[in-house]
Chains A and B, each alone.
Chain A
Amino acid sequence: SAVISQKPSRDICQRGTSLTIQCQVDSQVTMMFWYRQQPGQSLTLIATANQGSEATYESGFVIDKFPISRPNLTFSTLTVSNMSPEDSSIYLCSVGGGAGAGELFFGEGSRLTVL
């Protein structure tokens, strides 16, 4: 299983600012995903972070709002731009199990509160 470190673990942000979340994996992984989990809700896929190319965004999510970087096979960042209170959520980095395994491993999440 992969060990995934996310930071920050939590932050309180002001409306209109941007915050970058970092995700570090202890091994090289092909598939890396970013999810959002609003309080008491399910996990919603934001995008697939592709190494060496632009991220693939799901419907309802755009690059200008959620720019993603994936400079190598162990690291990715998600930026939440021009934040509003509606962006208050837990953001989770996840990686695939590899070798066609299918299982996802999750970071501990980054809890953002936007005032």
Chain B
Amino acid sequence: GENVEQHPSTLSVQEGDSAVIKCTYSDSASNYFPWYKQELGKRPQLIIDIRSNVGEKKDQRIAVTLNKTAKHFSLHITETQPEDSAVYFCAASISTGGFKTIFGAGTRLFVKA
């Protein structure tokens, strides 16, 4: 089955700096890669996603890149703000499998004001 690895487990940045979180997946059939943000005590929520037919996607300060050959995908947050502090999860799923989603271990991001 699918296995998703995520690094780093913890990331601390200064406000205004960029943050990068990296993930790898094992199943070449995976074709949908979402990123979820989970604030303390709350449910995970989708912040951005990318499909396997796209190499890069951007939404304001957030961007995601995908390298299908290497089975790598990354989340980039620019101009970080204290409210970006949360746990971020990458995930992988297969559309033909009903989008059964497997999550990475998570990255706890601290943005210092």
Contacts and interface: CB of A to CB of B under 8 A. Distances in A.
Contacts of B43: 92, 106-109
Contacts of B36: 104
A102 B89 contact: no
A103 B51 CA distance: 11
Contacts, number: 53
A41 B84 CA distance: 19
Contacts of A48: 98, 100
Contacts of B103: 42-45
Residue of B34, B36, B46, B104 contacting most chain A CB atoms (<10 Å): B46
Contacts of A100: 95
Contacts of A41: 105-106
B99 A96 contact: yes
Interface residues of A, number: 21
B101 interface: yes
A13 B102 CA distance: 29
Interface residues of B, number: 23
Secondary structure of the A contact surface, majority rule: loop
Nearest to A100: B95
A33 B103 CA distance: 13
A107 B42 CA distance: 10
A85 B93 CA distance: 31
Contacts of B45: 106
A42 B34 contact: no
A31 interface: yes
B98 A59 contact: no
B106 A104 contact: no
Contacts of A96: 98-99
Contacts of A102: 32, 34, 49, 51, 93, 95, 99
B16 interface: no
A110 to B, nearest CB: 11
Nearest to B95: A100
B105 to A, nearest CB: 5
Given A42-B104, A45-B100, A103-B49, 4 more contacts: A33-B101, A92-B44, A96-B99, A104-B34
